Structure 1
Amino acid sequence: MAGAQKGPDEAITDINVTPLVDVSLVLVIIFMAISPFAMTSGIKVLESKAKAAIGKVSKSESVNIKLELSGKLTVNGKETNFEGLGLAVQKALGGKKDRLTILTADDKNKVGDVVRILDISKQFGAQKIAIMHSSKKKKKEKKG
Structure 2
Amino acid sequence: MHADNSQDSAITAINITPLVDVALVLVIIFMITLPQMMEQAMKIRPTEQQVVAASSVSQPILVEISAKGISVEGKFVAEQELAPTLHKLIAQRKNGSVAVSAERGVSHGQVVTVLDQIMTAGAKEMNLLDPREVGHGPA
TM-score by length of 2: 0.51
Counterpart in the other structure of 1:80: 77
Return 5+ residue gaps in structure 1 as ranges.
1-55, 139-144
Residue 99 of structure 1: how far off its partner (Å): 2.2
Counterpart in the other structure of 2:106: 109
Distance 1:58 1:105, change over 3 A: farther
Per-residue CA deviations over 1:3-30 (Å, capped at 9, x if unaligned) read: xxxxxxxxxxxxxxxxxxxxxxxxxxxx
Measure the CA separation in 2 of the matches of 1:107 and 1:61: 24
Measure the CA separation in 1 of the matches of 2:71 and 2:56: 18
Measure the CA separation in 2 of the matches of 1:117 and 1:65: 9
- When the two chains are superposed, the root-mean-square deviation of aligned CA atoms in Å is 2.6
Per-residue CA deviations over 1:52-94 (Å, capped at 9, x if unaligned) read: xxxx7999521110011x2421111111011000011111112
Q: Is the 8 A contact 1:61 1:99 kept in 2?
A: no
Measure the CA separation in 2 of the matches of 1:72 and 1:58: 31
**What are the residue-to-residue correspondences of 1:8-87 with 2, within 5 Å?**
61-68=59-66, 70-87=67-84
**What amino acid sits opposite 2:137 in the alignment?**
K
Secondary structure of 2:64's counterpart equals strand
Aligned sequence identity (%): 20
**What amino acid sits opposite 2:64 in the alignment?**
K
Q: Is the 8 A contact 2:57 2:94 kept in 1?
A: no
TM-score by length of 1: 0.49
Counterpart in the other structure of 1:123: 120
Secondary structure of 1:101's counterpart equals strand
Return 5+ residue gaps in structure 2 as ranges.
1-53
Measure the CA separation in 2 of the matches of 1:92 and 1:116: 19
**What amino acid sits opposite 1:84 in the alignment?**
E
Q: Is the 8 A contact 1:65 1:76 kept in 2?
A: yes
**What amino acid sits opposite 2:116 in the alignment?**
D
Measure the CA separation in 1 of the matches of 2:125 and 2:138: 28
**What amino acid sits opposite 2:61 in the alignment?**
V
Bigger mean CA offset, 57-66 vs 125-134: 57-66
Residue 96 of structure 1: how far off its partner (Å): 4.8
**What amino acid sits opposite 1:83 in the alignment?**
Q
Distance 1:122 1:110, change over 3 A: same
